Structure 1
């Protein structure tokens, strides 16, 4: 899986950008907020990515921050929310506003995004209410403070893995932190999840 791209910005469109990495131009779908955050044409950029794979397509989606990518993953986990709708939501609301809306169960704020009706907005805030803490408590969250330690990709993925197994945000965070203390920052995702499950079982 392609986790990020580092290269030169070739061009931008309404909902995508082309990034040249070693002579190969990657077309990356992006929210309007992430596109605005990019440097100028011809300048170096780093874009965090998510690869979408289907029976008849292969698509890269890009984000200005890992936090935005985490939100994309959560949003697309809700029934009825595809990549296009998730990007529309992230175009209308930055991660901090989205976190606030879900915590407050404010479906009207989520419904501001193009293609999101009242019923879908209600489903989004309801289904993500118990998962919002995974990102809100992550050092990657916007507003995390100067000097906050950077979470590894394995740590974020481990939190998501435990959430998918039914762990509450606080439980997942505590188990992953305990696993990191024992294994160290260089631990692989597989080792981290296994150790976190052991810690949670104690």
Structure 2
């Protein structure tokens, strides 16, 4: 699943947007000022950034410009009360991909997030097939050898992330950063527990499991 960063100083509004995006199965981090935003952007990778223009300790416009100047390619949506044509032009020219003015409906914002994800290679909704598994990203259905299997939300998110990157080895830290919120208390033990339960669900009828442990390095899903 995609990971979203919301940069918004209105705590209540940020919580409302996060709640809806989590409902839509996204992993979401929230930064309420420029300092936290810069920390998150340096420490983690995101699939979409929702960025307020006015922050208590800086400007969303400068965050956008700085991020792009460092080579950041993550799609950015400005979410702001600045609704003049001149401000929209300035925001989009600074490197943003979309511009939403307040007040707004959270469903429209979520639709714009999904639209940006569809344009991002490797993230657009599709049926992903790997080894004995198939995953429908638009319906969240997973099949093992053609049979539906039931996954918990984080199990699904882990499998989705790894199936998009078959044969690539991920450390526990990399999986935590990709699938859990940055303020989560999840640990290496959490990853081990989820991998263990996932293996039981994705093993074939003949006993083959596509999820492999690479000792000392991490885990991968093998496209066998």
TM-score w.r.t. length of structure 2: 0.27
Q: Which has the higher contact order (CA 8 A, sep 6+)?
A: 2
TM-score w.r.t. length of structure 1: 0.30
Bigger radius of gyration among the two: 2
